[in-house]
Amino acid sequence: MLEKFKDYLRVKAGLTDEQFTAISGKLKTRKIAKGTILLRQGEVCHHSFFVSSGLLRSYTIDTAGKEHIIQFAPENWMITDRSSNYFNEPSELFIDAIEDTEFILVTNEFIDAAACSSQSFQRYDNRALHNHIRHLQSRVSLLLGATAEQRYLDFIKLYTELTLRIPQWMIASYLGITPESLSRVRKELAHKNFKPY
């Protein structure tokens, strides 16, 4: 697992093998079963989670008990509650496993040590933060003003390989629509793209 994370940071953040080895003692690996909850609403999030294999998600639960999915995290994705992690405040999110998952607990100490040892990692971390903000802004814009079809097409673009791994009701929750509406959207798109032989 650590080898995969090392390769990821070498490619994405320019962290050398030597730099990674020097600070990798701050990392921990975990294996969890499908359905395991990593973070509960009200807890303080102390880690980021790098997915080596499997699939995680973050979501909220409203007062009526309905789930609202914020993000999915497949292989080579990171997921966390940035607000809780950075400000040491109770999380508004749950994070759990949609599949059996192997992941790495990435501590703030690791991030700080990597930033101290590598300017390229500093640039990567800064870009990752701004990319996260960009995606959140796009999510808000889509949820407020886009059609269900536009939201679904954006989902496919962002999570290209996940449509068959995620239950339809979870995709609908992420899109802010009902499963019935998602089914209609999928049928309409299939009809538009249908080409008789």
E strand or H helix at 47, and its extent? strand 47-53
CATH number of 2-118: 2.60.120.10
Helix (H) or strand (E) holding 177: none
pLDDT confidence of residue 103 = 98
Mean pLDDT, 10 residues at a time, the chain of 197 residues: 93 95 95 98 96 97 94 96 94 97 96 94 94 91 94 94 94 96 93 59
Domain locations in the chain as residue ranges? 2-118
